[in-house]
Amino acid sequence: MVILDRAGEVEITDAADFDLVKTFECGQCFRWDADTSDAQVGGCTAIAYAGVAHGRAARLRSAGGSVFISCTMEEFESVWRPYFDLDRDYADIRRRLNIDDFMRGAVEFGRGIRILRQDKWEALCSFIVSQNNNIPRIKKIVAALCRHFGDELEFGGGIYHKFPSAERLASLEADELSPLRCGYRAEYVIGAARAVDSGALDLDALSRMDPADARSALTRLRGVGDKVASCAMLYGLHMLDSFPLDVWMKRAVAERLGPAFDPAVFHPYAGVAQQYIFHYMRSGAAARE
3-state SS string for 55-117: CEEEEEEEECCEEEECCCHHHHHHHHHHHCCCCCCHHHHHHHHCCCHHHHHHHHHHCCCCCCC
Q: Which of 139, 140, 227, 250 is catalytic?
A: 227
Q: For residue 52, give the H/E element and its range.
A: strand 47-53
Say how far apart CA 254 and CA 265 lie, in whole Å: 16
Tell me the pairing of strands 44-45 and 66-69. unpaired
Residue 11 contacts residue 4 (beta carbons within 8 Å) = yes
Query: What are the φ/ψ torsions at residue 162 (nearest 5 degrees)?
Result: -75, 160
Say how far apart CA 286 and CA 89 lie, in whole Å: 25
DSSP label at residue 2: E
The reply to whether 227 belongs to the active site is: yes
User: Cα dist. 277→77, 91, 280 in Å?
Assistant: 30, 16, 5
Active site amino acids: 227
